[in-house]
Amino acid sequence: MSSVSTAPHRQIRIFRRRAQLRISRRTLFQYPDFRLSIIGQTTSQIADALISLVFAQVLLFANEGGPTPRLLIQTVIAAAFPLILAGPLAGYVADKYERRQILVTGQGIRSLIMFAAFFSAYIDSQVSLYVLFGLSMCVTRVLYTARAASVRHLVRQHELVAADSVMLMASMVAGSIGAASGALLYRYIGFAAFFAGAILHFVAAYVFDSIRAWLGGGSEVEKVTWPVALQQLGMAKTRFAIASTSAHRFLLGLSFSAVALLLDQQTSIGASGYAATLGASGVGAFLGTVTSERTNEKVPRRTVAIAAFALSGCAVILAASITSVYLCCAAVLAMAFCFQNLRVCSDATVQANAMKGSCGRVFAAYDMAYNLSFLLGLVSGLAASSTASSHVVLVASASAYIAGAVIFSCMRRTEEVKVQVTEVVEAQPAPVQRKTIFSARNVA
């Protein structure tokens, strides 16, 4: 008997042959536990944005904007710290303990951190504020991973893309509300705004405690060792999702730095290049989140990845060819739009294919991969733009995007199929034994 390995035929289709079941985001809110999860998440993230701005005002970035290179470096440092320290821990905690309890306890811990931050600011203890700020960001990372790993217990598998897009839209709206609220509160009551964040975290803890669905984690799940959990990262669909999302995110960071520095050189722009680029990226990400569910319904996920790279490459080519403030911002918007469509589909792929008992670790590894890729892209863009012109960096980024479209069109996204071929040999029929006879119904 021999084993023949045959790779599945990769036919790239622009649209699905059969449209997936249409899922309205409004329909998901008919699930009480999903509704409570979104309310708790929104409340928590309003508090996150509020206290992050207060921390920034009293400690981290002060009031001035500063030059674009310094702002980019500050962004990298502030984002890399919780990813590196709490990223691996977040996946372990999300699988080790019951996730609903993680969400409730984590919100309570964040509330206590806010009270401690108020007293540290009152006595003007800079060291304590830095420690509390770092601890707060690390706890936030754990809570995000626990929420992401819990989604597949709140909705059905074909509803994951719609659910993830709802969560991301809620996150963006909450961030805007929290930042605006934080700015107003800090203006009128100063660092006493930490109390508002503490109250919101207590409210979020109460909401998460009201969820009755089992969210996974804890002793009730199947025990999966670290080697088995990490082995899942090599599964075809998960590997494709991580590779495509991380590669696109790296190139987005590279292009983001180049465009921000390029806009800084434009005398006609009133705001800094960093602010203009950040705004365009935020708009593109929001629009991409809104369209992601419909995109997944109509377009196969391999085609989503190919289109994300190809369209982003075309946008960067235009920005490098015609140096215009509006065109550069439009290119960043297009790249962020493409990435967000790709990211939401990849989130659902990772969540759906993770083995029971390991979703936290698998999702945490995926999340760390594409976020660290973005930070590496930012640093690479800064370094490359200091030795070469921003135009050269953009041309290189566009070329890499087009190459990525070709690579992911060839990359396998399904597991290799093995066909068993049995050699036929002449032999005398073996005597029939009653003990080895099974009915056709049992064999099936």
Going by pLDDT thresholds of 50, 70 and 90, the confidence category of residue 16 is: low
Q: Average pLDDT of the chain?
A: 81
Going by pLDDT thresholds of 50, 70 and 90, the confidence category of residue 249 is: very high
For 89-104, give the secondary structure using H, E and C: HHHHHHHHCCHHHHHH
Q: Write out the H or E segment, with its range, that includes residue 419.
A: strand 417-421
Of the candidate ranges 25-39, 267-281, 289-303, 356-370, the one whose mean pLDDT is the lowest:
267-281
CA distance linking residue 404 with residue 190, whole number of Å: 48
Give long-range contacts, CB 8 A cutoff, 24+ apart: 319-323.
Answer: 319/259, 319/394, 320/391, 320/394, 320/395, 320/398, 323/262, 323/391
DSSP class per residue in 196-232: HHHHHHHHHHHHHHT--S--S-STTSPP--HHHHHHG
Q: What is the pLDDT of residues 31-60, one digit of tens each?
A: 899 999 999 999 999 999 898 888 877 765
Task: Tell me the mean pLDDT in the region 127-155.
Answer: 89
Burial bucket for residue 279 (CB in 10 Å: 0-12, 13-18, 19+): middle
- DSSP, collapsed to helix, strand or coil, labels residue 54 as helix
Q: Please report the pLDDT score of residue 22 as a whole number.
A: 58
Residue 18 scores a pLDDT above 60: no
Regarding predicted confidence, which is higher, 418 or 52?
52
Of the candidate ranges 152-166, 181-195, 208-222, the one whose mean pLDDT is the lowest:
208-222
Residue 22 is classified by DSSP as: P
Amino acid identity at 2: S
Provide the CB-side half-sphere exposure for 426 (13 A, CA). 0
Going by pLDDT thresholds of 50, 70 and 90, the confidence category of residue 20 is: low
Query: Could you tell me if 345 and 296 are in contact, meaning their C-beta atoms sit under 8 angstroms apart?
Result: yes
Angle at 32 between CA 26 and CA 37, to 5 degrees: 85
Q: Which residues, 6+ apart, have CB-to-CB distance to 263 below 8 Å?
A: 269, 272, 273, 276, 277, 325, 328, 329
